[in-house]
Amino acid sequence: MASDMNDYFNKKKSENGGFKKSSSGGGSSGGGGGPQMPKLDMNFGGGKAGIAYFIIAVIILLVLAKPFTIIEEGQRGILSTNGKYQDQALLPGLHFIVPVIQKVYVVDTKVRIINYASRIEANAGASGIITKPAVTVLDKRGLPVSIELTVQYRLNSQFAAQTISNWGFSWEDKIINPVVRDVVRNVVGKYDAESLPQMRNTIAIAIEAGIREKVASLKNSPAILQSVQLREIVLPQKVKEQIENVQIAKQQVQRAQQEVERAKQEAFKRAEEARGIAEKARIEAQGKADAVTIEAEANAKANLLISKSLTTKLLQLEQMKVQSKFNDALRENKDAKIFLTPGGSTPNIWVDMKNGHQTKTSTGH
């Protein structure tokens, strides 16, 4: 019973703020003349809770101090310890540093582009793309010419720390830009403005070779040149008009030459046709002459063969045939007179005395 009473009074005590007022208002049941203050729990609710609070505090401190850094692909980290750069750049990955004492500067090693243009392009301001004014050059006679080109390059990751240490974070404006402008002026300045369009390929090759040589000659090769593209040669308006006039004159000369060549071809064609006709006539005449010659030669050969084939007996036979014909004639015309030639070398002649006509009858030869 006494225990139950004590529990009751303790519960009431906690409900009343840990102290009990006296009926007279002069003090508490515990004495001391005033209200009794509660005691502060220095264990934070127990040992485990204190450890949890400590760990949370440490995590917050680490987040605020950030003793680590993450380097992504296409980047390098330049570690600075008390203001001094480390020789080797940090590779992509997680790296821990000492807060306050050390600091990491992240630099981009991906391909970058500088466009030298006379007007602002659509991609100006994009990541990794820089737009600069076109390179103004004086030609061989002092006329201003604008050269537009695109240069692709990247930071040499092997010597990134040395490059930042020597040239600073604005290394592009100290290396690429001055080299490009200097080389372009030296190359283009050797030509007249009128000859630049015709020498475009030669000029482009010379500019790229000059830029590569100058960048590669720098200490530690700070940049790697990817390509140099000559995009446009902007000439003065007067030079453009002059070039256009020259082109028009050349075209007119070419047309005249084509007309002359066409006339030559026509004349040559007509001459060939006439030559062909004459050759045809000559061939035909030659054919006819050859035919006559062949026929004459054939007749001569035939006569020769015949003359060789005539013998005395053959001639006598022919004479007898003729004599037979004369006998037949005398039977019909008894008044005829006949003159015989011996051997048959000349024609036999007989005369019809009634009619007074002479008839020659050949013996064949």
Q: Which of 38, 32, 31, 30 lies closest to 14, judged by CA?
A: 38
The count of domains in the chain is 3
| pLDDT tens-place string over residues 60-88 | 776 776 788 888 898 899 888 888 888 88
Q: Which of 170, 165, 158, 171 lies closest to 221, judged by CA?
A: 158
Dig out the tokens for 279 from the structure: 């050759």
**Is residue 105 in some structural domain?**
no
Whether the pLDDT of residue 26 is over 50: the answer is no
CB 131 within 8 A of CB 145: no
Residues 302, 321: one domain?
no
**Is residue 300 in some structural domain?**
yes
Residues 242, 225: one domain?
no
* Domain that includes residue 326, residue range: 312-361
**Is residue 13 in some structural domain?**
no
Last residue of a domain, one of 218, 235, 252: 235
| pLDDT for res 27 | 39
The structure's pTM equals 0.52
Residues 296, 200: one domain?
no
When pLDDT is cut at 50, 70 and 90, the band that residue 56 belongs to is confident
Q: Which of 143, 331, 328 lies closest to 243, judged by CA?
A: 143
CB 176 within 8 A of CB 151: yes
Residues 145, 200: one domain?
yes
Whether the pLDDT of residue 173 is over 70: the answer is yes
Last residue of a domain, one of 220, 235, 250: 235
Last residue of a domain, one of 203, 235, 267: 235
| pLDDT tens-place string over residues 285-332 | 888 888 888 888 888 887 777 777 767 777 777 777 777 777 777 777
56's enclosing H/E stretch is helix 47-65
**Is residue 95 in some structural domain?**
no
| pLDDT for res 319 | 75
| pLDDT for res 191 | 92
* Residue 275 one-letter amino acid: R
Q: Which of 90, 92, 107 lies closest to 163, judged by CA?
A: 107
| pLDDT tens-place string over residues 238-248 | 877 777 777 78
Residues 298, 252: one domain?
yes
Q: Which of 293, 361, 357 lies closest to 327, judged by CA?
A: 361
Dihedral sign from CA coordinates of 232, 237, 241, 246 = negative
Cα separation, 312 vs 317, in Å, equals 9
Mean pLDDT of 258-287: 87
Name residue, tokens 């006296």: 22
Residues 288, 324: one domain?
no
- The CATH number of the domain holding residue 179 is 3.30.479.30
Rounded to an integer, what is the distance from CA 338 to the centroid of its chain? 112
CB atoms within 10 A of CB 265: 10
Residues 123, 149: one domain?
yes
